[in-house]
Amino acid sequence: MSPMTSTLRGAALAVTAIVLFHSLGSAQQASGAVATGSGDPAIRELQDQVHQLQQLVEEMRTENAQSRAEMHQLRQDLQATRTLLEQPAAGKDSEMATQTVPESSAVAAVESATPLEQRVQKLEESTSLIGSKIDEQYQTKVETASKYRARLHGIVLMNAFRNVGGSDSADFPDYSLPVRNFFPRATVGATLRQSEIGLEIFGPNVAGAKTSADVQFDFAGGFPATGNGVNFGIVRLQTANVRLDWDHTSVVAGQDSLFISPLSPTSFASLATPTFAFTGNLWGWTPQLRAEHRFSVSDQQTITLQAGILDNLDWELNYSSFERTAQAGEMSGQPAYAFRTAWSRPVQQHPLSIGVAGYYGRQDWTWGRYVDAWAGMADWQVPIVPRVQLSGELYRGRGIGGLGGGIGTSVVFSGSLPYSPLRGVNTAGGWTQLKFQLTPKLEFNGVVAQDDAFTAEIRGFATDQNNSGLIIGRNRGALGNVVFRPRSDLVFSAELRRLRTFPVYSSSSSTNQVNLSVGILF
């Protein structure tokens, strides 16, 4: 018998006994004081009251029996629901227990103070809710070989574009190139190779830390040499990392984005490379090991410290498509080092943050030629008014082609021989974005960006012929876009982007692109 049923029966019997004893006592007093018999009105009134009490007791017994039957049926329904809840993978047990225990506690807390009909209705609603959660879990669960749960995420993205002018890539250009003779200036096309697929795995707790892993791919790894090969984008690894997260400290190991350059302009026209890569937005999916610690200065102010070692890359082309060869930074025998510190606080439900970072890596180009690559960076997010935010990054460095600086060029050579003198490319650049959030579903973004290699240090020292390719001295970009999210998982975007590129030894060229995007996030 449930506690609620026992409580109802006890209360009913207690009330009945009290009323009966009170009524019988009154009747005895009345009969002693009055000499007349059953015809006295007081006696008749007492007899009527006793009769009514007897009817009330019978009605209460009937209702109590009905309540017991209903509660028995509800217990059977809840037991069936618990059986269904125990069927998902063991990795879900703790999560489902966390969700159901508070609901059971809440029902028990209000049980004694709520009328029976309302309690029954709430139990029915709870049963329906639990059933819907089971259906949702069945639809969204990802089965794994271990007991730990996984979550699939990503975006299916289609980009339709029209370009006027030449570029390094038609679908997501990074810099402009002159249009070749007898080729048209305008081209149109569409692609889905910027779609992304990721898998997040939630592991066990280790030494008080929550462990997780994440791997993400796209289809921008090139094209097979076959008919319609442009539609068969090759899968490419973007990031893959393992995390240990405590309350205020995190350790991350894997191939990840640059923590010293954490921001990027908002755009769905360029996901295969971050927006304005090689145009003032430092980036790289680089193997690294880093640690970060967050501590509060006040209730709303936070300071973050990050430090790590990175694979010492310099953006050299691979000599083989199948074998891993060491780059100049790796041949120095030591990794690259980086750190960042940032201050942040919320302002009008938007982050206000300022960060500074530094980078150093030594490069060995053989024949006794060394370059000390370094960079200093700054980033910011500033809410101007509730619907307008300003964000951006700046940097100054040398030999940072591995981070996308110098338009992806770390050094230039003065000759074509393998032991020719070389010089690290000095560069400075950055970008800034103004975001206008018209509504929660509609936003407008405007961005300007530039990467400026110090042309005066290149001109006269190196030529295009000595460096096996075009040497670019400056790359500028600007864009404006509108992003509409009718739902959180559905995105429409239209963007106009302009690139203007200045080679060291030839005239500048420009490219304009109109890009229409539609995507579904999952």
For residue 28, being part of any structural domain is answered with: yes
Q: Which of residues 140, 175, 208 is at a domain's end?
A: 140
For residue 251, being part of any structural domain is answered with: no
Tokens of 347: 């302002």
State how far the alpha carbon of 522 is from the alpha carbons of 196, 212, 397, 489, in Å: 10, 19, 38, 7
104 pLDDT above the threshold of 60 = no
Alpha carbons within 13 A on the beta-carbon side of 317: 4
For residue 207, being part of any structural domain is answered with: no
80 pLDDT above the threshold of 60 = yes
Mean pLDDT check: name the lowest of 15-29, 393-407, 472-486, 495-509: 15-29
Residue position matching structure tokens 């100054």: 396
Cβ-count burial of 401 within 10 angstroms (0-12 exposed, 13-18 middle, 19+ buried)? buried
The pLDDT score that the predictor gives to residue 69 is: 75
Banded model confidence at residue 46, pLDDT cuts 50, 70, 90: low
Mean pLDDT on 182-210: 96
For residue 255, being part of any structural domain is answered with: no
Its domain, for residue 418, covers 277-480+497-505
Q: Which of residues 79, 112, 140 is at a domain's end?
A: 140
For residue 447, being part of any structural domain is answered with: yes
- Total number of domains constituting the chain: 2
Number of residues that this document lists for the chain? 522
For residue 264, being part of any structural domain is answered with: no
Q: Which of residues 97, 120, 140 is at a domain's end?
A: 140
Distance CA 43, CA 26 (A): 10
For residue 261, being part of any structural domain is answered with: no
Cβ-count burial of 179 within 10 angstroms (0-12 exposed, 13-18 middle, 19+ buried)? middle
Mean pLDDT on 57-64: 69
The pLDDT score that the predictor gives to residue 129 is: 65
Distance CA 291, CA 304 (A): 11
pLDDT in tens, 144-156: 777 889 999 999 9
Are 400 and 381 contacting, i.e. CB atoms less than 8 angstroms apart? no
For residue 268, being part of any structural domain is answered with: no
Output phi, psi for 302, to 5 deg.
-130, 140
Distance CA 219, CA 503 (A): 30
pLDDT in tens, 248-288: 999 999 999 999 999 999 999 999 999 999 999 999 999 99
If one compares 235 and 83, the residue with the highest pLDDT of the two is 235
**Whole-number average pLDDT of the chain:** 85
Reduce the secondary structure of 84-152 to three states and give it as a string: HHCCCCHHHHHHHHHHHHHHHHHHHHHHCCCCHHHHHHHHHHHHHHHHHHHHHHHHHCECCCCCCCEEE
102 pLDDT above the threshold of 80 = no
Are 293 and 305 contacting, i.e. CB atoms less than 8 angstroms apart? yes
Q: Which residues of 299-309 are buried (b: 16+ CB within 10 A; e: fewer)?
A: eeebebebbbe
The pLDDT score that the predictor gives to residue 28 is: 41
